[in-house]
Amino acid sequence: MNITNDYLEFEKEHNLLELEYRGVYFWYLIRQTLTKDLFFGKDSNFHPDFLAGTKNERRKYIKHIPGQIKQFFDRKQYDILISCVNIERMIQGKLANPHTYFFEEYDFSIKHNTLFTDRWPDKAPEGTNSALMRALLFLYSKYHSVLWKFKKDEKNQINHYLTMFEERFSCSISHDKYMALIDNVVCSFKLMKWYYLRMINNKYRAIFISDSHCIEHYSLIAAARQCKIPTIEYQHGVIGLGDVKYNFLSCRETGNYFPDYLFTYGEFWDSVCSLPEKAQAIAVGSPLFDNSKKEYAHNIMDDKVVVYISTGFIGADLSKHAISFARLTESLGYRIIYKFHPSECKTWRQRYPWLAKAEAELNHIECIDQPVNIYEVLSRAKHVVSVASTVIFEAISFGCKIYIWDKEELKDSFGDIYEEIVNRGYVDLFETENELLSCIKSKVKNDVSEIGGRFYKSGSSANIRRELTLLTKDDYE
């Protein structure tokens, strides 16, 4: 985690989170990409063409514009605006968004704002998405590209800080790439904030967000702050002291585009983040976790089932490891399940062709790229393999045996998570396929009841209802 601390201190020393370009705190918008370049050495969050989108994307969102125009001019008042990406999982026999489905049992008046994404199903409901904003952004970007150019002093200043970044961390980054990125995110932010200011003003008591760390939600948070509407992010993944998205350390007085409240799954997560001073973490739990634990309580775990939990930044290497382990255990009766992250589901056959080939050749490998309920999988599998995912903590709380691939390059980002659960003996570390097999064959199993409740607070549905009721009261300030 030292490199994360060094990075945060670097931000503080040079007051980078207060740097403005055209009235936008641009460093805040690129810090996630910078640190991913630093930690993993790849452009994991950069897409210079995102303003225009692909032809297929444009065809998808154009047909939704009429419904969006209606929503944009809707002046009815609501308790809560829910803004998120349209993610679907099989929940209680039907497809639903795991981060918002529980609102159906509440009596708040709700409006939805679903972010447009190329992973979006064609059946996305009209009038609930950001189609109009995307269309306006496409037009605005053309105007921006003609009339907005970096001034010489602006360009020199940005290059100066990028050079200092390279010198501080002994790395090399493309200045042209980051100049283009800054230009794009500032253009997008200004248009999106303008859009959201007109969409939300005097209409909502609170805004509920799943994953605030994208340009759409940064601009929504900025607009809400200007309108004095409280914003809430609901935890959607692993949080740790090595993750700059949720850590500001000595820069805590900043955080201009961070939500006012972070609803976490449990007290454990509150302790592994360092939020801006104006933000507050509140442990509420997970309705999906609570309900699934009851629903699948009678399932029997199979000691011969090994589930690999993938994620995009390590999926290529992890999938190769899964194949090697499958070949090693081919005659031992083990069944290998490879569960993709949502961002991998549509493209895994192109990204990991070796895995597609192995699934066709080996009868005991199964790849899951459909919107299943991960808790049903966990309730039937004794062994779970991953690197950094909330599924690790869900599996611990379900009573599975957990094995974390001990990759050195992951420790800067997730070192505190390792320290908490590895040193306490809640998980096993492995490097090779043989080491993993030895861990699986070991009959030693630690008692996780002490920490399971810290990961996921009970009574989640009532907890969320109570906190939202307080935030939507007439006398809220």
pLDDT given at position 343: 77
Rg from Cα positions in the chain: 23
> Mean pLDDT lowest for which of 217-231, 244-258, 291-305, 423-437?
244-258
pLDDT given at position 46: 39
Residue 416 lies in a domain: yes
For residue 397, the enclosing domain spans 291-455
Quick one: tokens of 58? 């444009």
When the pLDDT of each residue in the chain is averaged and rounded to a whole number, the result is 83
pLDDT given at position 160: 95
CATH number reported for the structural domain that contains residue 342 in this entry = 3.40.50.2000
The CA distance from 67 to 88, in Å, is 22
Handedness of CA 63, 54, 310, 218 (dihedral sign): negative
Is residue 449 scored above 70 in pLDDT?
no
For 439-456, what is the mean pLDDT?
Answer: 71
* Contact predicate 81/200, CB 8 Å: yes
Exposure string of 260-288, with b = 16+ CB inside 10 Å and e = fewer, is bbbbbbbebbbebbebbeebebbbbbbbb
- What amino acid occupies position 363? N
The CA distance from 253 to 279, in Å, is 10
Which DSSP helix (H) or strand (E) runs through 304? strand 302-309
Residue 399 lies in a domain: yes
In a shared domain, residues 308 and 432 = yes
* Contact predicate 385/314, CB 8 Å: no
pLDDT given at position 51: 42
The CA distance from 23 to 6, in Å, is 27
In a shared domain, residues 151 and 37 = yes
In a shared domain, residues 269 and 282 = yes
pLDDT given at position 45: 41
In a shared domain, residues 227 and 360 = no
* Contact predicate 355/322, CB 8 Å: yes
Quick one: tokens of 337? 């399940």
Exposure string of 334-356, with b = 16+ CB inside 10 Å and e = fewer, is bbbbbbbbeebbeebeeebeebe
pLDDT given at position 230: 95
In a shared domain, residues 154 and 249 = yes
The CA distance from 207 to 233, in Å, is 9
pLDDT given at position 44: 42
- Strand order from edge to edge, sheet including 365-368: 365-368, 335-339, 302-309, 381-386, 401-405, 428-430
Which pLDDT band, with edges at 50, 70 and 90, does 49 fall under?
very low
Chain segment 66-116, per-residue pLDDT in tens: 777 777 777 889 999 999 887 777 787 788 888 899 999 999 999 988 876
In a shared domain, residues 321 and 361 = yes
In a shared domain, residues 360 and 272 = no
Share of the chain above pLDDT 70, in %: 86
In a shared domain, residues 257 and 338 = no
Quick one: tokens of 173? 């980054």
